[in-house]
Amino acid sequence: ADVTAFGVYMGFWFPDTPRWIWVAAVILFIAAINTRNVKIFGELEFWLTIIKVGAILAMIVGGIVLMVIGVSYAPGEPVGVQNLVDHGGFLPNGVGGLLAALSVVVFAFGGIETIGITAGEAGDPARSIPKAVNAVPARILLFYVGTMVVLMSLVPWTEITGEASPFVQIFSALGIPAAASILNVVVIVAAVSAINADTFGAGRMLFGLAEQGQAPQAFTKV
């Protein structure tokens, strides 16, 4: 799913390029990274996280500023928290729509188990792992819920399609194409980070299985 998303996001700039080319390119790049020392993985994730967190905070602050000054995605259209309950109400597609969306949301959280996988290579796992886990709820509220509340207050959900990242579409609708391009970079970074974490986790799982004799011994070589 993440590599497919990467191809979709690259299509924002290169609509005529077959998406499989971008998929193959990112797979080869991430595979090369994960065949090296784990320090390289950590360094890459550190900088990718800096970019993602900085961009999300900028989106939240920028979105609030746009709401305050009244920038609308279309002439005469309202801007504000009323967009969260207008256009069909808070649950426009009923409980069935909520459950369908929930399955996608739960899938999106796949990968948080990487925290546990990295415990074996952490310097002080007894301190760092609980600290990381305990910070997850606050980060979800800020980076997931907070961002969506702000952005959906600017542009209602009915204006969003599946052709590109919702973040990119929102700022394009607001007439800020430069911001849309910047955000496309950010969602690409997020996709690369997710692919990197998935590959890291898969490699460590195969290594552990091979050590226990449940996978080919070739996977014990590092």
The structural domains of the chain, with segments of one domain joined by +, span 2-220
pLDDT band at 120 (very low <50, low <70, confident <90, very high): low
Crossing angle of the two packed helices 177-211 and 2-10, in degrees rounded to 10 = 160
In whole angstroms, give the CA distance from residue 222 to residue 220. 6
Q: Is 90 exposed, middle or buried (0-12, 13-18, 19+ CB in 10 A)?
A: exposed
pLDDT tens-digit profile of 181-204?
Answer: 887 888 888 888 888 877 877 777
One-letter identity of residue 158: T
pLDDT score at 45: 78
By the 10 Å C-beta count (0-12 exposed, 13-18 middle, 19+ buried), 72 is classed as middle
Report how far residue 83's alpha carbon sits from residue 57's, in angstroms, rounded to the nearest whole number: 21
Q: Name which of 220, 204, 212 is nearest 117 in CA terms.
A: 204
Site of tokens 């952490």 = 122
- Between CA 210 and CA 219 the distance in angstroms is 6
**The pLDDT of residue 145 is above 80:** yes
The C-alpha atoms of residue 156 and residue 3 are separated, in whole angstroms, by 28
